[in-house]
Amino acid sequence: MKSALISRRVCSIRQKIRGVNIMGYYIGIDLGTSAVKMLLMDANGDIIKSIAKEYPIYFPQNGWSEQDPQDWWNAVKAGIQEITAFCDKSNIKGISFGGQMHGLVMLDENDKIIRPAILWNDGRSAKQCKYLNNEIGKKKLTEYTANIAFAGFTAPKILWIKKHEQEKKHEQEEEENMLIRLMGEYEGNISMVARKMQISRNTLYKKLKKYKIRH
């Protein structure tokens, strides 16, 4: 309650200062493994409020780790409502999104979630990693994708799905799924594609060079 009163007071003071052009507020969202963390900040970088919304992790078998993507969405919606409750929402100028890596979200042809998300710390795809690293070969994988296969990566999980759940179709990572729900469009970035082993090394390096990022 005390933090809520402080947040309300800060927003009220900033909005009532005469002669000052309020440049707006910005929301940062971190979709973590155990909770979504959010903060509201102003154009000067001052943090006005921060919160966290927890959600469960499920372990249906030894070495498996899953979450319900609907839990993420419920937490994100509740967090945005709470963190903006004391401010004029028309002054929200931007939202930045980050999150846990390598989680696999499976969708049907209508973009409906059709199974629990397989998380980064799930180890069920050990056989698929062995196939990729030994049959395809680490040298070839590195040449093609700048990565070798690990159980936490998305590509081995997709091979596991193909073997054990062939009816499953489309895939995403956590951040992509939340971006679609927030924006209504498919969005992603080079980092997401690279860590899924779904971009060629040459294409990745060209992108890094374009943006003057060392590799």
Distance of CA 127 to the CA centre of its chain: 26
What letter would DSSP give residue 134? I
Which among 62, 38, 141, 58 is positioned nearest to 103, based on CA atoms?
A: 58
Q: Could you read off the pLDDT of 101-156 as tens digits, one per residue?
A: 888 888 887 778 888 999 999 999 999 999 999 998 998 888 877 788 899 888 88
Q: Report the distance separating Cα 103 and Cα 196, nearest Å.
A: 9
How many other β-carbons are positioned within 10 Å of the β-carbon of residue 114? Answer: 15
| Two tokens, residue 208 | 């890094």
Q: Could you read off the pLDDT of 56-84 as tens digits, one per residue?
A: 999 999 999 999 999 999 999 999 999 99
Residue 50 contacts residue 37 (beta carbons within 8 Å): yes
